[in-house]
Amino acid sequence: MLYREAGQFKTNYAEDMAIFPIRQDRIALAVLLGLAFIGVPLLASFRIWPFRTDYLLWAILLPFLILALAAVGTNILVGYCGQISLGSGAFMAIGAYSAYKLATGVHIPLAWLGFAIAIPPLPVLASILLGGLMAACAGILFGIPSLRIKGLYLAVATLAAQFFFDWAFLRLPWFTNYAPSGSVNAPELDFFGMIVRTPVERYLLCLLFVSVMAVLAKNLVRGNLGRQWMAIRDMDIAAELIGIRPLYAKLTAFAVSSFIIGVAGALWAFVYLGSWEPLAFSIDRSLELLFMVIIGGLGSIMGSFIGAAFILIMPIMLNVIPTELGLPLSTQTITHLQFIIFGSLICYLLIKEPHGFARLISIGKEKLRLWPFPY
Amino acid sequence: MASIARNVLMLAAALAGAALSAPAAAQTEQFIPILSYRTGPYAVNGAPYANGVVDYYSLINERDGGINGVKILTEECETGYATDKGVECYERLKSKGPTGAAFINPLSTGITFALTEKTATDKIPIITMGYGRADSKNGAVFAYNFPLLGTYWSAADIAIQYVAKELGGFDKLKGRKISLLYHDSPYGKEPIPMLQVLAQKYGFDFTPIPVTHPGVEQKSQWLAIRQNRPDYVLVWGWGVMNSTAIKEAAAVAYPRDKMIGVWWSGAEPDVTPAGDQAAGYKSLMLQHGAGKFLVHADIEKYLYAKGKGSTEPGKIGEILYNRGMTNAMLGVEAIRKAQEKFGKKPLTGEQVRWGLENLVLTADRIKELGFEGMLKPVSISCSDHEGARYGRVQQWVGKGWKVISDWYTADESLIEPLVADVSAKYAAEKKIKPRDCAKET
């Protein structure tokens, strides 16, 4: 009834090819963005329910935004280009540690040449973006095997990246500026004189990064490059025959995906954790990101967000609800229940809809369009 | 589709119910969050500790009716020893109760590192009894961190003192080989700088050997130990890593009595899984050992006799249970101290911080609390957030722990310069202006 596009005529190609061709979608998105950019900060600064404490901002929204960004990156590689990767955690770590090194100043003594490479501490924004760039370079490097190996074998090759970087950041004290405990502290978040400190400011910063990058990613996958990736994903031999270079397509997918994941990693470390150790980017994180895109929907930017929400927020909800309801359950029972319910939910969802939430939503949209006579 | 809609509706109803039925918190209770881990690879050690904490708070409520009449309200949150979950738990619990969290005790050095900056901003003290960051002993820089009763640098020094005693003097350390088998996390890495300082001073050869989380795979590490034949192996493990280390040592025939665990590697769950192979294994003690003292009689009388205990009665008096209790007691006494200044009502974290910083427990007071024999006098001040740095050594004799050494006191002349150096670096990095401890009251 409300969701019907009758009467919306498109008079030029630009309108026809818009990201959101349906007016209701545009309105919904505008409302969502308005809520996210204006509503949430307003509610939070006046401490109105549910923002009476920082909990929702700090412990839910902030990690959700950053992990959603990382999931978008993972989705570009896994969902759009069809290259299974288990190295997302490593690329996050590269982003985080490169940004950390750049923000605190790089000093590489080359004793045998008689000089040293020294880069003074860079501003935080530059560090975060360059951190993403470093991740992109590493992504390209570890993407090279994808030209020869496919599927599960590629997953194993990217797993090597995961273990290598886990090892490097744990063992090479240079990366942590020789911190005795191996745990490093993020520098002050100084953006052109504006210092980001409070949860609301941190939230807005991440929101800005996520929105800009999601729009860029969405446009990339709709354009020439995205079509090349999808062609490679669907059938690489056919793609090659119609003139798509697998080298270029695969490596750009690795680069773009790793860049986004790297920026997410830098944000995760700088904005969310503030102080971190390599365990924050372990293999668990890689698997988590992979599950996010599988459950959210492979090959869907929106799916990445929903997947991130499901994987991150659902377990916390399952954990909080029994306590809030005042059920007399012990902590370990609640935790075990959380695992059981969450696990069964995933099984149920994947049986009912193997293509994830994004698919569920598009089915829902179709049905709404045909309402009241959906078939 | 319909069933999904129904499920969503049910969930929404449940949530709405939760929002409505959430009990209005009484305004007369002091809220203390409990971060614990009763699941995962560290649960064997996390659960007894948490039981000790929970039981002591219940005891205060049941026996004394609270701290000077202010009842303690607690909520437990499972961290699984994971840093990200720990941060989530902290955010969930920090502002509950009428005045927010009195203090937080994460029982994880990794979570401590992640929370150090947050707790200072939120003005909630973070008590890390026998763990945490060693440089936070310097209260001038780390106003909200309290590594009570001993840091890992104190532990490292005490361990080396004991080794020297066994060898017959500090001069005998020269040329010896001492390895550190450590949990590869901030926890395990903390003692390394101190051990390096000690190695340089006494001229022994120090080798750190990392073990990856959770520590069930140690074959290559013990192969390296077999080849290198160190005179002593210090064990800085946690959870299942400890018993695995003992089993692997037995497999390569490394003498167990040359292994010295830190106080987190010396409880019943660390040795019992290794069975007879554990006999001879030694560990440091964070002052107290296993066994029951006066306070345990009250716990049995007021809690277990009424079925209000949190564990099986047979487990009261285990080492980690006792440690949890000691930890809870120090927190409660800090609140009591703060009440002297701020009044007998629920206090904020900032006020409890004052109580912690001015907490002095004399031998008489410790006796009154029923902790005599578990604890030596504690005196915390702005410049010393540790309060006491004693330790002993115990040995597993197959059925129980036997105390085999006298008291040791960590050598401040070695630790202090390192604390000053590392905490000054932190202050510079975080732009913290150290407080002037002479002016603190």
Please confirm whether the linkage preceding A315 is cis (ω < 30° from 0): no
- DSSP bridge pairs for B36: B78
Chain B, nearest residue to A178 by Cα: B193
Size of interface A-B (CB pairs under 8 A): 101
- Apex B361 CA angle, B439 and B138, nearest 5: 40
pLDDT tier at B23 (50, 70, 90 boundaries)?
A: very low
To 10 degrees, what angle do helices B43-64 and B294-302 make?
80
Write A101-106 long-range contacts (CB < 8 A, 24+).
A101/A175, A101/A177, A102/A126, A102/A127, A102/A130, A102/A131, A103/A127, A103/A186, A103/A187, A103/A270, A104/A177, A104/A187
Which residues of chain B neighbour A185 with C-beta distances below 8 Å? 117, 426, 429-430
Q: What is the per-residue pLDDT across A102-122, written as a single tens digit (0 to 9) for each?
A: 999 888 887 787 788 888 899
- Given this model, what pLDDT does residue A1 score? 65
Domains of chain B with bracketed CATH: 25-150+291-381 (3.40.50.2300), 152-285+392-412 (3.40.50.2300)
Could you tell me the two tokens for A255? 């680069």
Reference A144, options A157, A153, A133, A135; nearest CA is: A157
Q: Report, as an integer, the average pLDDT of B210-214.
A: 88
Residue found under tokens 């487990």: B315
Tell me how close the Cα of A242 comes to any Cα of chain B, in angstroms: 41
Residues ≥6 apart with Cβ < 8 Å to B42:
B80, B81, B214, B238, B239, B240
Lowest average pLDDT, out of B6-15, B153-162, B207-216, B256-265, goes to B6-15
Could you tell me the two tokens for B190? 């903390």
Which residues of chain B neighbour A58 with C-beta distances below 8 Å? 91
Which residues of chain B neighbour A197 with C-beta distances below 8 Å? 121
Q: What is the per-residue pLDDT across A54-95, written as a single tens digit (0 to 9) for each?
A: 888 988 999 999 999 999 999 999 999 999 999 999 999 999
DSSP secondary-structure letter at A224?
H
For the beta carbon of residue B296, count every other beta carbon within 10 angstroms. Answer: 21
- Per-chain mean pLDDT for chain B: 89
Interface predicted TM-score (ipTM): 0.87
**B411 with B161: CB under 8 angstroms?**
yes
Q: What is the per-residue pLDDT across B103-127, written as a single tens digit (0 to 9) for each?
A: 999 999 889 998 998 999 999 999 9
Which residues of chain B neighbour A324 with C-beta distances below 8 Å? 18, 22
Chain A, window 266-295: residues with a beta carbon less than 8 angstroms from a chain B beta carbon: 273-277, 279-280
Its pTM stands at 0.89
Tell me how close the Cα of A249 comes to any Cα of chain B, in angstroms: 36
Could you tell me the two tokens for B197? 């300082």
pLDDT tier at B6 (50, 70, 90 boundaries)?
A: low
Could you tell me the two tokens for A94? 């590269």
Q: What phi-psi label fits residue A102: left (phi over 0), alpha (psi between -120 and 50 degrees) or beta?
A: alpha
Contact A54 B91 (CB under 8 A): yes
Q: What is the per-residue pLDDT across B427-438, written as a single tens digit (0 to 9) for each?
A: 988 888 998 888
* Mode of pairing for the β-strands spanning A194-195 and A190-191: antiparallel
Is a pLDDT exceeding 70 seen at residue B12? no
